[in-house]
A and B are shown apart, each in its own frame.
Chain A
Amino acid sequence: MELDPLILSRIQFAFVVSFHAIFPVFTIGLASYIAVLEGLAFKTKNPSWVKLSAFWTRVFAVVFGMGVVSGIVMSFQFGTNWSNFAQATANFLGPMLSYEVVTAFFLEAAFLGVLLFGRDKVPPGVHLFAAVMVATGTFISSFWILSANSWMHTPAGTEFRDGVFFVTSWSEAIFNPSFPYRFTHMVLASFLTGGFVVAGVSAWYLLKGREVEANRKALSMCLWLLLVIAPTQAVVGDFHGLNTMEHQPMKVAAMEGNWETSRNVPLLLFAIPDQANQTNRFEIAIPSLASFILTHEWDGEVPGLNEVAAEEQPPVAIVFWSFRVMVGLGLLMIVFAFAGLVLRAGGRYWQTPWFLQGLRLMSLTPFVAVLAGWFVTEIGRAPWLVQGLMNHSEAVTPSLTGGMALFSLIGYFVVYALVFSAGVYYLMRVLYVGMEDSDIDKEYGSDRPKRPFSAAHVPFDIDDNGTHKPLNQGGH
């Protein structure tokens, strides 16, 4: 069989980006949470807040460190696998990506060190300020990346001449039509991720009876946050969908599994899209509901995949099912958020075992939902890389062979599998050690900034004597 460099490059890009994306999605939400905890600690002087903030800062350090390493690969992918795309879009995407790097640098250089290592070294107000700036920095970083990505979906402010995009208006290009929706949707997804992870971990500690007071506080705030964010996300997602229908109708058609443009389109709860025959099998549907959701009229017209030739349709089954996974998990999140509200009376939210066990499991769902949503939006764009103007096969590196693409795909897979296993294993240890041991902060204290993981204070492994001899990397 002939190896196809295009398919392999798409798989590789999807893999590398998916792997990288789960880190920032978590750190954006967590950074804001830490900033809030720092604010509460500053205002109330309650030691529970300090304890929580110190613990979650350690988790943040590890996740951030992993994200940085996996991010190095990203900026080279465009050149190695998508050189025609890079060449065509460099006038816009080059500055966007550079500004992102620069923003990330500022965040890391100036404020992360103070947040991770400065608690006892700088005045509390300065430490709080650093926490707020780190949180702000994560938003600014994602601003650039999402602007660049949104532009590929709704290219505006540029002129396509002789195979190259030239920027005619920076403001129109940066604030392109789908950017506000995509950015808001992503920020809320980050809050949901941070919220459900903190809730799940707090629930686990409460089940174990560890640090009950602090974890009750943490769980309570998460449940309030989720109660607001989870339903809001559904509304924002709806607006995002309407925007997509305006600019990328075929993506919406694939999400709905709608083959023919028509009115009174049903909402499919279950179906197996059959792209070869341009139809669905085993449909279970609610009549007219898709029309109502998308047009807010029961007999509204919804675009169908038949508006374009079969080879210009996205892979319907993947988009259709990814969308259902995302929405299904989103609804489950709303259910848990409201269950938390119901259980709040009498403080039952922190002593109802099924609820706490459920929250533990729920801590993984935002990651799945984010990846599913990302699949919907990116695969749903196929065959376009820049909507309507450049498709995947025009974008791929001309000299790339299937063999090279396969080699690097397997290579990245192996490298990331090793790195990720070590990272997840270490993160589990940090969570296992928990917040009781925050005294070791003192022991390791140092008057100088260090690398992110240094903030974690948790050994990677234990030697045969059951003790751990860490390398003393700090001063005294």
Chain B
Amino acid sequence: MGMLDLVLIWAFIIGFGIIMYVVMDGFDLGMGILFPFAPTEEDRDTMMNSVAPVWDGNETWLVLGGAGLLAAFPLVYTTILPALYIGVFLLLAGLIFRGIAFEFRFKASTSRYLWNWAFAGGSTLAAFAQGAVVGAYIQGFEVTDGVYTGGALDWLSPFTILTGFGLLAGYALLGSTWLIMKTEGRLQEWAYRITIPLLLGVLGVFVIISIWTPFVDEMVKDRWFSNITVIWILPALTLICAFQIFRSVRNRFEGMPFVATLGLFIFTYLGLIVSRWPYVVPPDITLWDAASAYDSQLFLLIGLVFVIPVVLAYTAWTYWVFRGKVRAGEGYH
């Protein structure tokens, strides 16, 4: 090693990739979770139209994150994926159904209801699995000599079921605030209406997790109740975001609810990171333990230095092209 600590750079890249995936695929998964409850079929068309042009790009972050994790932190990849075996299968199965539904629903008439179910079911399954994965991560993994030694269903516990429902509510909240921003009329009214209950659901899960986690894990407790008091700014900011969602929905602001929900996700995510830093496979494998060879990290980094700006620019451009409201039966203009 020596010259440059690539591990930190890679930790930043992977961490950034994960939050990009979570917030971006989050709102389109949220669309699927809300899908069955939409007021009319026409509104469902509008909902799908609002995410159809971007979901594919959102998924890029997942694949890039998966491959990047293998390249930069193989030990994370090879301990967590076996630990979450069944969960990963459910996640992928959900994403496949969701992805195929996107393609076929636009082409179907009589079979459209089937694709509706595939879209809603796939999205809900994928979101729940992701939430359970987060919970399993907080819980920690049974690892001996760099190999997962726990059971097949260790990841599924009352705690992870709670986080699963928590993320379902969180993604639905991202979805409803996205709709507030992107639609108008009846659908927007509906989105305004469901946002506060969803927010309360998310906050409820937050509160339970915040009380529960210190009991589940000694290390997290030490971190939060030790002398590093500055980290309390993160839950404070999370609460400010929650309040902001509440206020902006009441005042019928259109963009702010979504922005505040993004803030809610980002600060929660940072809170999760500071709880664990520098352990990347809880409870006791650090980033440096998990890293691949310096050479390998460098070899890939050289390529990514060129690629990541392009990915970001392309993403920004896509969202710019599709800015503005989406209307039923008409698409953008």
Residues on A close to B: CB < 8 A? 65, 68-73, 75-76, 78-80, 83-84, 86-87, 90-95, 97-102, 105-106, 108-110, 166-167, 170, 397-401, 403-404, 407-408, 411-412, 415, 419, 422-423, 426, 446, 448-454, 456, 458-464, 468-476
Using Cβ atoms and an 8 Å threshold, which residues of chain B touch A422?
100, 104
Using Cβ atoms and an 8 Å threshold, which residues of chain B touch A460?
104, 107-109, 111
Cβ A426 vs Cβ B148 within 8 A: no
Partner of A91, one of B64, B147, B295, B331: B295
Q: Give a binary string over B140-182; 1 marks a CB under 8 Å from any A CB, 0 the rest.
A: 0000001111111000000000000000000000000000000
Given contacts A404-B86, A461-B108, A463-B109, contact A98 B146 (CB under 8 A): no
Cβ B82 vs Cβ A407 within 8 A: no
Cβ A76 vs Cβ B66 within 8 A: yes
Residue of A whose beta carbon sits closest to that of B99: A69
Cβ B107 vs Cβ A450 within 8 A: no
- Answer whether residue B243 sits at the interface, using C-beta atoms and an 8 A cutoff: no
- Nearest-neighbour CB distance to chain B for A414, whole angstroms, equals 9
- Answer whether residue B194 sits at the interface, using C-beta atoms and an 8 A cutoff: no
New A-B contacts (19) at CB < 8 Å, excluding given A73-B96, A102-B304, A399-B83? A69-B96, A71-B63, A75-B66, A91-B295, A95-B299, A98-B68, A99-B303, A101-B63, A105-B64, A109-B310, A167-B295, A397-B148, A399-B148, A422-B100, A448-B321, A461-B109, A470-B107, A472-B331, A475-B333
8 A Cβ contacts from B292-332 to A: 292-293, 295-296, 299-300, 303-304, 307, 310-311, 314, 318, 321-322, 329-332
- Nearest-neighbour CB distance to chain B for A111, whole angstroms, equals 12
Cβ A471 vs Cβ B152 within 8 A: no
- Nearest-neighbour CB distance to chain B for A131, whole angstroms, equals 19
Using Cβ atoms and an 8 Å threshold, which residues of chain A touch B82?
79-80, 83, 397-400
Bound complex: CA of A456 vs CA of B108, how far in Å?
A: 13
- Answer whether residue B259 sits at the interface, using C-beta atoms and an 8 A cutoff: no
Interface size of B by CB at 8 A reads 75
Bound complex: CA of A73 vs CA of B81, how far in Å?
A: 13
Using Cβ atoms and an 8 Å threshold, which residues of chain B touch A449?
53, 318, 321
Cβ B96 vs Cβ A448 within 8 A: no
Cβ B93 vs Cβ A458 within 8 A: no
Given contacts A69-B96, A95-B71, A398-B148, contact A426 B104 (CB under 8 A): yes
Cβ B106 vs Cβ A453 within 8 A: yes
Using Cβ atoms and an 8 Å threshold, which residues of chain A touch B79?
83
- Answer whether residue B184 sits at the interface, using C-beta atoms and an 8 A cutoff: no
Bound complex: CA of A102 vs CA of B104, how far in Å?
A: 26
Cβ A459 vs Cβ B292 within 8 A: no
Using Cβ atoms and an 8 Å threshold, which residues of chain A touch B273?
none
Residues on B close to A: CB < 8 A? 45, 48-49, 52-53, 56-57, 59-60, 62-64, 66-68, 70-72, 74-75, 77-83, 85-86, 88-89, 92-93, 95-97, 99-100, 102-111, 146-152, 292-293, 295-296, 299-300, 303-304, 307, 310-311, 314, 318, 321-322, 329-333
Question: Which of A95, A108, A398 counts the most B-chain CB atoms under 10 A from its CB?
Answer: A95
Report 27 cross-chain contacts, Cβ distance below 8 Å, ordered by A residue. A69-B96, A69-B100, A72-B59, A72-B92, A73-B96, A78-B70, A79-B66, A79-B78, A87-B78, A90-B71, A90-B292, A94-B72, A95-B71, A95-B296, A102-B303, A108-B56, A399-B83, A407-B86, A411-B93, A423-B100, A448-B332, A449-B321, A453-B104, A470-B107, A470-B109, A471-B105, A473-B52
Given contacts A76-B66, A76-B92, A93-B70, contact A167 B296 (CB under 8 A): yes
Cβ A86 vs Cβ B296 within 8 A: no
Cβ B63 vs Cβ A72 within 8 A: yes
Cβ B107 vs Cβ A90 within 8 A: no
Question: Which of B74, B88, B152, B314 counts the most A-chain CB atoms under 10 A from its CB?
Answer: B74
Bound complex: CA of A473 vs CA of B50, how far in Å?
A: 10
Using Cβ atoms and an 8 Å threshold, which residues of chain A touch B95?
72
- Nearest-neighbour CB distance to chain A for B158, whole angstroms, equals 21
Residue of A whose beta carbon sits closest to that of B322: A448
Using Cβ atoms and an 8 Å threshold, which residues of chain A touch B151?
399
Given contacts A76-B92, A456-B107, A459-B108, contact A91 B293 (CB under 8 A): yes
- Nearest-neighbour CB distance to chain A for B209, whole angstroms, equals 26
Cβ A75 vs Cβ B67 within 8 A: yes
Bound complex: CA of A412 vs CA of B85, how far in Å?
A: 13
- Nearest-neighbour CB distance to chain B for A452, whole angstroms, equals 7
- Nearest-neighbour CB distance to chain A for B221, whole angstroms, equals 28
Cβ B71 vs Cβ A97 within 8 A: yes
Cβ A462 vs Cβ B109 within 8 A: yes
Bound complex: CA of A419 vs CA of B131, how far in Å?
A: 25
Given contacts A87-B74, A102-B303, A463-B110, contact A407 B296 (CB under 8 A): no
Bound complex: CA of A132 vs CA of B54, how far in Å?
A: 25
Using Cβ atoms and an 8 Å threshold, which residues of chain A touch B97?
415, 419
Using Cβ atoms and an 8 Å threshold, which residues of chain A touch B63?
71-72, 75, 101
Bound complex: CA of A464 vs CA of B109, how far in Å?
A: 9
